[in-house]
A and B are shown apart, each in its own frame.
Chain A
Amino acid sequence: MFAYFVRRLIYMVTTLVFISFIGFFIINLPPGSFIDVYKAQREAQGTSTAEAELEALQRRYGLDKPIYVQYWLWVKGFVQGDFGRSFQYNREVKDLIWERLGYTAAIATCTLVFIWIVAIPLGIYSATHQYKVGDNVATVMGMAGLSIPDFMLALVLMVVAQRVFGFSVGGLFSREYVDAPWSFAKLVDLLKHIWVPVLVVGTAGTAGLMRIMRGNLLDILNMQYVQAARARGLRESTVIVKHAVRNALHPLIMLLGMSLPTIISGSLVVSIVLGLPTTGPLYFSALRQQDMFLAGTFLMFLAGMLVLGNFLADILLAVVDPRIRYE
């Protein structure tokens, strides 16, 4: 078990190193450096940039040096918590991200919890009542949830909330609370708004996860050990929960690991439509503006979460399945 743990840890670190390497390379692919973009922007605004400022930037990031030196400077700063500077906002990347990370994580965590709480029981019900009315209803709802685009559902919900219930659901706060300090009233206001993105992003996720759970469980229910458990005289509920569901969880654990990056990225399109202060739109504009340190930091964070998610899933799988544990 310990050897397994260490091996996974080594895989994880190696993967991250490779991702940072490729990520940095890709960000540097477009012609010109961000200095040119920065200069052009300043000129378009009518202000000229002092040569001294540009030189200071060049020195800080070693832009006149070969690319591997630039990479090294970037990585060195990264592990020390210096993610570089955003040229678009003219602020430290660190501050920009921290500002939005809290809300993003809050929304995404709520969504994940919502998806799992709704989808797993529905999937189990669907599988144990295959082709009965309940299963068919769940299947139709699932297909609908899967095929209606996020942004469409978001728009419809906004319109309905506004027209029928008369409250605004765009953003995360009502106007009067946006800059207000934290208070109980602000929290209530947040809860009034957060259900929309949770529901919108959660619908598609629930539908997908429910279908996966149903499929897995149907496969497992045909296994001989489920029949054998039944033949021992166990209650049907014990057979389902203890023997079938437990074995159907493996692919879902892997899936949970893969969905970890969404906790920091959030759902891009929904965030834009609903005007949410999450990291998704920030990442999007960073990519468009060639704001390389902001984009690079995001890329690393997303990759890091994915790799960490896989690592945690591997560990969890070993806990759940003795065949992996005793490998």
Chain B
Amino acid sequence: MSDDVILKVNDLHTYFFTESGQIRALSGVDFTLQRGEVLGIVGESGCGKSVTAQCIMNMVPNPGRIMGGSINYYRRANGQVEEIDIINQHPRGRVMRSLRGNDIAMIFQEPMTSLDPVYTVGSQLLEAITLHQDVTKVEAREVAIDALAKVHLPEPHRIIDSYPHQLSGGQRQRVMIAIALSCNPSLLIADEPTTALDVTTQAQILDLMQELQEATGMSIIFITHDLGVVAEMCDSVAVMYLGKVVEKTDVDSAFYDPKHPYTRALLRSIPRMDEQKNSRLAVIKGNVPDPSVVPLGCPFHPRCPEYMPGICNQVVPSMIELENDRAVRCLLYDKNQVQTPQPVAA
């Protein structure tokens, strides 16, 4: 394993124990993130993207529990690399709190509701700064104004004393980014940060994030269902389906040479400029199955256009390594299965 790894997620299982039964939100998520890499996690609603983010922060909401696997964070301090086993830390413990906001920061989907309405922007920004940095009150305010200026908010001296409801959605998301970046995190988790914004603001926020990533060299996990955003922002992509990563690849291959039938289907469902006027947009048939009743075999087989009867509904596919660090979880690429189509006892 190279020195440059910042986060390693291995076989992560997270279940929600609800009254109507056990829901397997994550059933074996694997990925590795390099320092400075921007990874896009894509997938339909309910595939476990946000839960993955919550696991990394060790903030899985009730009644969810991490049931297995590991998340290792590699903290670089004083030239040393320290390995932190996140899921074995107490969620409210000191180690986790020193990571959150300081090493790993997060921005959320809804900028309208991610700031507490009864405190000023400055008070919430200062919370993070005074918690993780050894500064006086006056210095902290300087740092805060500086952080607001970095995200190109006009008149940071005025913004710092305003309340969230006095700002627009785009401004609030900039404030959230300022809070997240105020302590110079090594890893930023962005959970659909532009979904709730209008298109123009979306583009501005993406530009800002790209600029800040280049300036700081931080790693970003960019959770989205917008493949356009992935193409613009990311170095690599992890496609998720029903709590599993089904394809992990660099961003160019994801668009020009997708391997998994699900990835291909996702790409076909993007409207294109050069398409015939009267042609219908391709859709993926069916819905994401209820995670409490996952289909046998490959969970995607009921919706898969390349479904192989007798194989796909029997065998659970494992991650198959391809060339150039790519990997795909599909039986089409499993040499054993395609050549000898014999059902294996599950």
Q: Give the B-binding residues of A (Cβ under 8 A).
A: 130-131, 222-225, 227-236, 243, 246-247, 320-323, 326
* Bound CA span A269–B97, Å: 53
Seed contacts A230-B57, A231-B59, A234-B131; 5 additional CB < 8 Å A-B pairs: A225-B114, A233-B98, A236-B92, A323-B117, A326-B166
Assess whether B113 is in contact with A224, with CB atoms less than 8 Å apart: yes
Chain A neighbourhood of B116, CB < 8 A: 225, 228-229, 243, 246-247
Report A134 CB to chain B, min CB distance, Å.
15
Assess whether B127 is in contact with A234, with CB atoms less than 8 Å apart: yes
B39 in the interface, Cβ–Cβ < 8 Å? Answer: no
Assess whether B100 is in contact with A233, with CB atoms less than 8 Å apart: yes
Report A227 CB to chain B, min CB distance, Å.
7
B230 in the interface, Cβ–Cβ < 8 Å? Answer: no
- Within the complex, which residue of B62, B114, B132, B166 is in contact with A228, where a contact is CB–CB below 8 Å? B114
Q: Give the A-binding residues of B (Cβ under 8 A).
A: 57, 59, 61-63, 92, 97-102, 105-106, 108-110, 113-120, 124, 127-128, 131-132, 163, 165-166, 176, 179
CB contacts between A and B, total, < 8 Å? 82
Evaluate whether A323 and B106 lie within 8 angstroms (CB atoms) in the complex, with A224-B113, A232-B101 already known.
no
Assess whether B97 is in contact with A233, with CB atoms less than 8 Å apart: yes
12 intermolecular pairs with C-beta atoms under 8 Å apart: A228-B108, A231-B59, A232-B100, A232-B124, A233-B128, A234-B97, A234-B127, A234-B131, A235-B92, A247-B117, A322-B120, A323-B117
Chain A neighbourhood of B118, CB < 8 A: 246-247, 320-322
Evaluate whether A323 and B100 lie within 8 angstroms (CB atoms) in the complex, with A225-B114, A246-B118 already known.
no
Evaluate whether A235 and B101 lie within 8 angstroms (CB atoms) in the complex, with A230-B59, A243-B116, A322-B118 already known.
no
Chain A neighbourhood of B109, CB < 8 A: 224
Assess whether A228 is in contact with B163, with CB atoms less than 8 Å apart: no
Assess whether B101 is in contact with A322, with CB atoms less than 8 Å apart: no
* Bound CA span A177–B93, Å: 58
Assess whether B131 is in contact with A233, with CB atoms less than 8 Å apart: yes
Assess whether B97 is in contact with A227, with CB atoms less than 8 Å apart: no
Assess whether B132 is in contact with A233, with CB atoms less than 8 Å apart: yes
Assess whether B62 is in contact with A326, with CB atoms less than 8 Å apart: no
Chain B neighbourhood of A246, CB < 8 A: 116, 118
Q: Which residue of A lies closest to B165 (CB)?
A: A323
Assess whether B117 is in contact with A322, with CB atoms less than 8 Å apart: yes
* Bound CA span A8–B151, Å: 40
Chain B neighbourhood of A322, CB < 8 A: 117-118, 120, 163, 165
* Bound CA span A224–B164, Å: 13
Chain A neighbourhood of B166, CB < 8 A: 326
- Within the complex, which residue of A228, A234, A320 is in contact with B115, where a contact is CB–CB below 8 Å? A228
Chain B neighbourhood of A230, CB < 8 A: 57, 59, 100
Assess whether B163 is in contact with A323, with CB atoms less than 8 Å apart: yes
Most buried by B among A228, A229, A230, A322: A228
Assess whether A232 is in contact with B131, with CB atoms less than 8 Å apart: yes
* Bound CA span A316–B99, Å: 38
Report B198 CB to chain A, min CB distance, Å.
19
Chain B neighbourhood of A225, CB < 8 A: 113-117
* Bound CA span A320–B113, Å: 18
* Bound CA span A230–B92, Å: 9
* Bound CA span A197–B120, Å: 44
Chain B neighbourhood of A227, CB < 8 A: 59, 61, 108, 114
The 9 A-B pairs at the shortest CB distance, nearest first, are namely: A233-B101, A233-B100, A232-B101, A225-B116, A231-B106, A322-B163, A224-B114, A232-B128, A224-B113
* Bound CA span A320–B116, Å: 13
Q: Which residue of A lies closest to B123 (CB)?
A: A242
Chain B neighbourhood of A321, CB < 8 A: 117-118
Assess whether A224 is in contact with B108, with CB atoms less than 8 Å apart: yes
Report A215 CB to chain B, min CB distance, Å.
16
Report A252 CB to chain B, min CB distance, Å.
14
Chain B neighbourhood of A228, CB < 8 A: 106, 108, 114-116, 176, 179
Q: Which residue of A lies closest to B100 (CB)?
A: A233
Chain A neighbourhood of B57, CB < 8 A: 230-231
* Bound CA span A243–B116, Å: 7
